[in-house]
Chain A
Amino acid sequence: MGKLTIGCFASLVGSTNLDFAVKLAGAALDKGHKVDLWVSGNGTMLSLEKQRAFKDYSYLEKPVKELMEKGLNVTACEACAEARGYHDDNTLEGVKRFSMDWYLGSTFDADRVLHIGGE
């Protein structure tokens, strides 16, 4: 089995590209691959805790938590998060925060990289 690094810069709720990234990550984990998910730009919204589930909006907190328990490694860009007012104390448990070099480090030994830019 291999390693997939996904970078997603799309907004939480505002674009289903982030939902796609999470679903793809789940499918890759199910196949036995290792998966890193890097979120930057507006994608850092995924790192926020206490997302509320409404029928009219996509909701990713629960699926992401479940995937992290299965081994998904989620890291948010610290600078992009802080610029948006997301701090350590409102970050979803299990989501790490690092600088952009973390993404590059993840790609170093990835077998496949899928970069999904923002809007």
Chain B
Amino acid sequence: MATTKLGFIVQRPGYKSENPKLALTHAIASQSVEIYLDDDDEVLCDVAFIGEGVLNCIKDQKALDNYQFNSTESHVKMALLCDLNVLVCKEDLEKFGMSESDIVLNAEEMGGDMDVKVVPYEEITKMMEEVNHLLFF
């Protein structure tokens, strides 16, 4: 059994660019990657929001109402529903004067168990060291 770990690092805000959303949808695709792998092999994805990327996590986004497509917030919730490890940089949130109360933290209303983890940048660095490959968005 072999595992490849990928780190998706989102460093830009969304909407003007679809990249943050694509980071999430690609990471979520780890749910079905097994069709390309041998039995018991797996690809695991961690997602980290840093810099302006933390702005993707602001809650109550109204993309669906205003632009008729799913919000980045809803993709974060989907990632949590899929049990992905989602990290948000604590220092960068604080730089924007934000705290956990300003961001999406869980997908409880959809039955999800995983929470977003607000962590020091040091933890994100640790994740970047541990994964096999990095993908910056």
Q: Which residues of A contact B (CB under 8 A)?
A: 7, 9, 40-41, 80, 99-110, 112-113, 115, 117-119
Contact = CB atoms under 8 A, between A and B. Distances in A.
Contacts of A107: 4, 6, 43, 132-133
Contact of B136 (A105, A112, A117): A117
Given A107-B43, A107-B133, A118-B17, A101 B29 contact: yes
Nearest to B16: A119
B63 interface: no
Give the size range of B's interface with the partner.
20 to 34
12 contacts: A40-B26, A41-B18, A101-B31, A104-B26, A104-B30, A105-B33, A105-B35, A105-B43, A106-B36, A107-B43, A112-B133, A115-B133
B135 A115 contact: yes
Nearest to B5: A107
Interface of B: 2, 4, 6, 17-19, 22, 25-26, 28-33, 35-37, 41, 43, 45, 132-137
Greatest chain A CB density within 10 A among B2, B25, B28 is at B25
A106 to B, nearest CB: 8
A45 B11 CA distance: 24
